[in-house]
């Protein structure tokens, strides 16, 4: 079964304090609440690195999503790989292979974030066995 899930989400990102400070590096927690075809919440961690060049940076993140996807209950993990190249954004978010559980076992796909009018929206292209 293949499908497309769409909706919106709220996100809270909280910088974490480090015992050891590494210049230009950051670590944050992520908490999201999803509405729409994907309904539920997620928790995650993000690592980021800025550069000496304005508007250039990178981040990686892992977040576990728990909830309902088109009525199927379960959980899965998203892996983020993001860059900002002198203001040009790049972002790939995939479902970690074999991370699906419950009715979402075997889930695979790609997650896209769209920001519009200060709000966050998502589009999830997925496959379930």
Is residue 126 within 8 Å of residue 95, measured between CB atoms? yes
* CA–CA distance, 77 with 45 (Å, rounded to integer): 12
Name the pTM for this structure: 0.93
Q: Which domains does the chain have, with CATH numbers?
A: 2-127 (2.40.350.10)
CA distance 11 to 119: 10
Over residues 106-111, mean pLDDT = 98
Task: Look up residue 54 and give its two tokens.
Answer: 């304005």
26-68 per-position pLDDT tens digit? 999 999 999 999 999 999 999 999 999 999 999 999 999 999 9
Q: Is the pLDDT of residue 9 over 90?
A: yes
């Amino acid at each position: 079964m293949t499908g497309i899930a769409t909706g919106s989400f709220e996100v809270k990102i909280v910088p974490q304090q480090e015992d050891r400070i590494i210049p230009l590096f950051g670590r944050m927690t992520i908490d999201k609440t999803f509405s729409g075809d994907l309904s539920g919440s997620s928790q995650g961690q993000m690592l980021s690195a800025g550069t000496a060049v304005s508007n250039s940076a990178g981040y990686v993140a892992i977040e576990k999503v728990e909830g309902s996807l088109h009525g199927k209950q379960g959980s899965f993990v998203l892996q983020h790989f993001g860059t900002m190249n002198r203001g040009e954004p790049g972002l790939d978010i995939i479902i970690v292979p074999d991370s699906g559980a419950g009715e979402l076992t075997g889930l695979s796909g790609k997650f896209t974030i769209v920001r519009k009018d200060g709000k966050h929206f998502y589009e999830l292209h997925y496959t379930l066995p």
